[in-house]
Structure 1
Amino acid sequence: MAMTSALEIITNKGNEIWSISAGEMVLEALKRMAQHDIGALIVMEDSKPIGLFTERHYARNVFLKGRSSPETPVRDAMREGFIHVRPDQDIDECMALMTRCKVRHLLVMDGDRLLGVLSIGDLVKSTIADREFTIEQLSNYISGNAA
């Protein structure tokens, strides 16, 4: 069985891209993440991704430093730059990259075009689904119900 690709994962989960501009305030970023039940926003400038803002960035760069979220621009709390994968890269490559780079989110890019974002949770869900499918296929084979 072929490994699931980054493109397949974002297609299955829905490739809605939630973003914020670097000049918007952290409070707006937090509201947007809560509204969409997500843990990260892509920071955009001139329609291009320039970094990420996550709950962790808020905790470390705003809250623990005593900054005010209504008065702190996202650019002062975000991580500039991002780690990305191609749409054809498989789930194992994505997990290895996340582990090596110590990140929880990967942008899926086709050249300069942003296709979506993968979280560690997305990869775990996909891995579990792949394993459940394999177990079902093996169970059917063993019981003689193979299609």
Structure 2
Amino acid sequence: MKTVQQILNTKPVQIFSVTASTSVLDALKLMTEKNISALLIMEEEQLLGIFTERDYARKIVLYGKASKDTPISEAMTANPITVSPSDSIDLCMEIMTEKHIRHLPVLADNKTAGMVSIGDVVKFIIADQKQTISQLENYINS
């Protein structure tokens, strides 16, 4: 069984986050600077929520709110669905598909260990399938 930890092992150990009082505009600037589409909302080490481009479109733009004056706490998804490092990649795919989400924060012992995106999961599955195909071809040819 392939696990979330295996995906985390392939990524740099970087967690991008802001506090609940950060303005939506400042969060968007950080997302642009880091070329990411989601940020974790944290106070000290506690995960409060997640803010994605989808949240921006549906909770800020659609309602004509000012990004500069709106705290991220008004636009974030509170208490996001999370996974643990020992959870399977299949579980991630199932959650992401059923809940129509693209990012899953990873918690280990109630501490944020990282985040996996749908892109991370798909990339990992494709690489794993290529490796399996290569091993099968080698087995058949020997």
TM superposition score category, shorter chain reference? over 0.9
Give the count of matched residue pairs.
Answer: 142
Matching residue of 1:70: 68
Matching residue of 2:101: 103
Q: CA RMSD in A?
A: 1.1
Deviations 1:3-54 (A, max 9, x none): 3210110121223100011101111111111111111000012321100000
Q: Which amino acid in the other structure matches residue 91 of structure 1?
A: I
TM-score normalised by L of structure 1 = 0.91
The correspondence for 2:117, drawn from 99, 119, 124, is 119
Question: What is the rounded CA distance, in whole Å, between the counterparts of 1:107 and 1:6 in structure 2?
Answer: 11
The correspondence for 1:25, drawn from 23, 26, 30, is 23
Give 4+ residue runs of structure 1 displaced > 3 Å after superposition. none
Are the equivalent residues in 2 in contact too, given 1:15–1:117 (CA < 8 A)? no
TM-score normalised by L of structure 2 = 0.95
Task: Say whether residues 1:40 and 2:38 are aligned partners.
Answer: yes
Q: Which amino acid in the other structure matches residue 29 of structure 1?
A: A
SS at match of 1:52: strand
What runs of 5+ residues in structure 1 fail to find an aligned partner? none
Question: What is the rounded CA distance, in whole Å, between the counterparts of 1:15 and 1:98 in structure 2?
Answer: 22
Deviates further, 52-61 or 102-111 = 102-111
